Structure 1
């Protein structure tokens, strides 16, 4: 789930993992027990923004039809809304408690399921490409905005099948457009655009040209879809890592200027073992937490 405030000054991202794909601890474990590496990653972007991503063991996981819990945080589907209750500790440099609730209210839900590899080893599910969000976290983090939530499922490590990908979700009219572009390790590519209306109906669209724009602070290559002659640009920095960047990007699709969340992922860099100790600083491991202990 990602969202941006209506005034564009703040943004938020929440990712719930079973098998925390960006955790060095999961990689070092051999990825044999995904339920022993679970996480609810919460990141806020703007003045005083914080980042939380604690890798926990299987005793910290509880699931039900309408609920997903990892440690003291949980996601609950209630009354047509996704309620995310957060109680986490942020990592360096701003070590502090992040506590409160985020509510995601979709305009509609979709039944779209898109394979990212021909054998279905990786699948994308855009559950709610158009939604409203309400953020009520401590330390003055209260805002309303637009957002979405989706999910990715996979049976293999991302770096096994992909070398690079970009993804973007951009509000358009009463709905939104999503673009998924990827370079696979076998030399094939993925290039997909989907337009969603306010009722959740999906239509495959012919995306405009892939257009490069400025690299990230870590020099990760970035590109997105844009009308001919239009130069996309970052309007708000979110997450910058040596292998990954997330930001709010302005582009033009079908004559309509729009700002949405964009990500670029360099999986050749991510595969480097040199990155894992760096990630461990930002992703602490807490294997002993259990609901019995609280």
Structure 2
């Protein structure tokens, strides 16, 4: 499916979702950032309880910032009357994303939870390449992934907490016509910037028990190439005992440098690994949707994902 840049006006029907994801690390590796803008927030207990009839009534911008000079987390869900979106912009409450054809500008004006401190700043994402293809993650095409900018330069200027840094980053988007947990039991994803290309590795198990995997390299023009999956490699479980798995060159043992997010059903980490003959730092995530479906986990979510009605 041909695609160019982000499109924030994509149609999202009942039961469905869309999200836009940015990650970045500082040049010295000390700081990390992820931002995810959701329509039909896939992890929202409120969306699930509503019967997922109106995705646009359950939108959020998630910010996760880590580093020695300041960390922050925010993810407040907001209703449809606080959402404005078009081809080149998505505004959710006081925060928003805008695309001018060259740069994605993200304005963050959020409040953390459960402790209510401000999370504010501006992030600029300048792609070095634009991915031209979206990929189906299941045979029916009900879940799709579009790597918008596999390689980008990211500038972070936060006033709360007061940190400024820049470094390499990544930008993609996902879309679905059914709840994420209806399609998958788990997945493991990672991306790594090689000298010339960007490697992206996807694998997991669908809800029907069938495995899936996707191993790609993107060149400097954003063109993709199928590659053979590297050898399986084990990682230590998270603090919540979530299983993590990845791939690496045969005979190499990847190392978890830092776990940025350690949640009951999800983990995002920085890895030191070797892929396609190169020593690299990779961003890695593991998602356990069987754990997410647990009533105990569902009861915990509102403490970290509050819902505003204004």
Smaller-chain TM-score bracket: over 0.9
TM value normalised by structure 2: 0.91
Mapped pair 1:42 → 2:63: yes
Residue 156 of structure 1 is aligned with which of 161, 172, 178? Answer: 178
The residue number in structure 2 matching 1:244 is 266
CA distance in 1, matches of 2:162, 2:122: 13
Contact 1:128 1:150 in 2 (8 A): yes
Residue 99 of structure 1 is aligned with which of 99, 109, 120? Answer: 120
- Correspondences of 1:121-270 after superposition (within 5 Å): 121-138=142-159, 139-270=161-292
Structure 2's unaligned 5+ residue stretches are 1-21
Mapped pair 1:119 → 2:140: yes
Runs of 4+ displaced beyond 2 Å: none
TM value normalised by structure 1: 0.95
Task: Give the count of matched residue pairs.
Answer: 287
Mapped pair 1:4 → 2:19: no
Contact 1:50 1:91 in 2 (8 A): no
The two structures, once aligned, show a CA RMSD in angstroms of 1.0
The residue number in structure 2 matching 1:292 is none
The alignment partner of 2:300 has SS state of: helix
For the structure 1 residues 49 and 127, does the alpha-carbon distance in structure 2 shift closer, same or farther, using more than 3 Å as the test?
same
The alignment partner of 1:210 has SS state of: strand
Deviation for aligned residue 1:140: 2.1
- The Cα offsets for residues 240-286 of structure 1, whole Å up to 9 and x where unpaired, read as 10110001111111110111210000110001121112110000111
Structure 1's unaligned 5+ residue stretches are 290-294
Deviation for aligned residue 1:79: 4.6
CA distance in 2, matches of 1:276, 1:207: 34
The alignment partner of 2:295 has SS state of: coil
The alignment partner of 1:269 has SS state of: helix
- The Cα offsets for residues 152-196 of structure 1, whole Å up to 9 and x where unpaired, read as 100111111111100001010133100010101112111111101
The residue number in structure 1 matching 2:14 is none
The alignment partner of 2:203 has SS state of: strand
The residue number in structure 2 matching 1:87 is 109
The alignment partner of 1:277 has SS state of: helix
CA distance in 2, matches of 1:121, 1:250: 33
CA distance in 2, matches of 1:127, 1:193: 16
CA distance in 2, matches of 1:239, 1:274: 19
